[in-house]
Amino acid sequence: MARISRPVALRAERRGEYYVLNGTKTWISNADIADFAVVLARTGAAAGPLGLSVFVVDARSEGVRLSETISTMAPRSFGSLTFEDCVVPASRLVGKLGQGFQIAVEVLERYRMTVGAAAIGFARRARSAALKWARSRQLLTGTVWDMQLTKSKLADSEVALTAAALLVGQAAWEIDLQFRDFGKHSSIAKLFATEQAQQIVDDAVQIVGAARVVKDAVPERLYRQIRSLRIYEGTSEVQRLIIANHLRA
């Protein structure tokens, strides 16, 4: 689903039992491989979020095409879709007309927790690689593992990973039980997990040194992968604003 912080450039016009879509959507996940696309379109004259609705569009429909593939610093499937008189059955409307913004926000709130979970996986992989290398890398006086600064970095990584896993678990539990206020803890989980994962991966690169910053080495790949997690589904700055807006005295 495209970001909704900029004007929506896709319009859907009702024509009997169908909607006709015209415009473009960009930063669509899996745009070049998905069978269906979930898109946000303007269906009313109301300004801002009040005139937005969500549709499920068959990617093979006449009038929809992949107009751009977006290359990123780490492998991701992103692209832009162009709609030219694309006919979509009215039954493909998700929820009610004009509820698009509300649906999009709820989807983001749910997915933020999963981004935190992904960040933990990347960070654990980086920590394990750094630990294995540190214990095997011989120095004149022992191994890299024997250095106090190495142990300090890896200990901090373990503390952060444990805390992040607990926060993600709490958010997932609240979502499963349909807590009304789950969005706050989903944002907390994403913010903490992704920020800490960035630090853990950076520390792993620092520990293994120059030999592991070459292209396609595990720490180098993880370094590129983790950076985007602090941006999509809402940047770290946005998560801080959301969390602050949930605070009560």
216/233 Cα distance (integer angstroms): 26
| Helix ranges, the chain (H) | 100-136, 148-176, 182-208, 218-229, 236-245
Instruction: Identify the DSSP state of 156.
Output: H
Return the amino acid letter for 95.
G
Whether the CB-CB separation of 240 and 212 falls below 8 Å is answered with no
Nearest to 29 by CA among 40, 41, 37, 21: 37
Of 106, 109, 174, 233, catalytic? 233
* Residue 79 neighbours by CB under 8 Å, 6+ apart: 26, 28, 31, 32, 66, 67, 68, 69, 70
| Helix ranges, 137-208 (H) | 148-176, 182-208
Annotation says 195 is catalytic: no
Q: Which residues are catalytic?
A: 233
